[in-house]
Structure 1
Amino acid sequence: MTEVTEFLLNRHSEPRLQAPAPDQHTLERALACAARAPDHALLRPWRYLVIEGDGRNALGDLFAAGCPDASTPAELEKARNAPLRAPMVIVGIASPKEHPKVPEVEQVMSAAAGVSFIELALQDAGFGVMWRTGAPAYSPIVHKGLGLSEGESIVAFLYTGTVISEKPAVPRPEVAEYVERWPG
């Protein structure tokens, strides 16, 4: 087993994060990894927003505004405080391009793979990472507030920072539970 495979087998999400966030050099290296995602026809169908400091409060206001199902002040406050769970939030945006041979779904998957590469690079640099979506990822209000163009979508809110305390290990399924040979 190589070090890379061992690293992947030990990948995990960390929801309890605090400052410091990744420094500029580490962040740029992680974002450079995103460009190594599979990308049929080299369309670069992604872009990223990095949100820190007071920007997280503005993002929280967008989350609250885009939370139509929030029926109580507590639910609105929870939405407003969500981006404060980490010192940095990276928004992964799928930005598909019109192409005769590359369907939109492949481009969205490419953007998601790029987010995964960022996540792995940040974890390799010693930071905790939590990939979140939820209702804000699909809210037209959030999309407009973040400047998404027609046809763009959010594939991730990647929360990152220094791990406060590691969460317990999550049980993983055995390979035989989700893989079969075809034809059988």
Structure 2
Amino acid sequence: MSDALSLLQQRHSVPSRQLGEPVPDESTLRALLEAAIRVPDHGKLVPFRLIQMQGEAKLRFGERMTALVIRNKPELSDSKREKERLRYTFAPLVLVIVACIDEESSVPPIEQTLTAGCVAQNLLIGAYALGFGAQWLTGWAAYDREAAAVLGLASNEHVVGFMHLGTPQIDVPDRDRPALDDLLSTWTP
């Protein structure tokens, strides 16, 4: 079997709480990001962008998200408030993958969003190929317009995911995978 297929068959997510230092150095991260943006892109719209968060910025973002949650749910328990505050702090690097929808384009918005999703998938595969771990998470903040405003997103932009990156701190067992025979059918006229 080819190394490329083996890589795909072995890739798995590493929980953000299990990701630590080191992260890719600057040149390796740049190479990873340049590879990740090589995606199918109907109309060559480049309907995505990336936002990087490291260090203190991750905690500050979590604090801003916590303030939004508390404003909408003042009864939120202290433990859930703390969970929100720390949500983005475990992995040393968080990349926000943003879909930038060109609403004037004849390319359907779903195709543009899928292109941004391909960037996220390439980040997962690329991180694994380089010996790093990653987890693609969303959560409520990915779908909240006030959270989008905190990130500086325009009205035509939305978060596809928060990619948590670092080095796995433990061996993570693979999860059960679906059987291909349960998913594959053959269309006949």
Aligned mates of 2:68, 2:20 — CA distance in 1: 25
Residue type of the partner of 1:56?
K
Change (3 A) 1:144 1:10: same
Determine whether 1:175 maps to 2:180: yes
TM-score, reference length from structure 1: 0.94
Mark the runs of 5 or more structure 2 residues left unpaired by the alignment: none
RMSD (Å), alpha carbons: 1.5
Mark the runs of 5 or more structure 1 residues left unpaired by the alignment: none
Runs of 4 or more consecutive aligned structure 1 residues displaced over 4 Å after TM superposition: none
Aligned mates of 2:78, 2:97 — CA distance in 1: 29
Aligned mates of 1:13, 1:116 — CA distance in 2: 11
Contact 1:132 1:158 in 2 (8 A): yes
The CA deviation at 1:99 is 4.2
Q: May I ask how many residue pairs the two structures share in their alignment?
A: 184
Aligned mates of 2:136, 2:123 — CA distance in 1: 11
Structure 1 counterpart of 2:57: 55
Aligned mates of 2:9, 2:174 — CA distance in 1: 12
**Counterparts of 1:14-93 in structure 2 under 5 Å?**
14-15=14-15, 16-67=18-69, 68-69=72-73, 71-93=76-98
Contact 2:36 2:126 in 1 (8 A): no
The CA deviation at 1:30 is 1.2
Aligned mates of 1:124, 1:65 — CA distance in 2: 37
TM-score, reference length from structure 2: 0.92
Determine whether 1:7 maps to 2:7: yes
Contact 1:93 1:111 in 2 (8 A): yes
Aligned mates of 1:166, 1:65 — CA distance in 2: 35
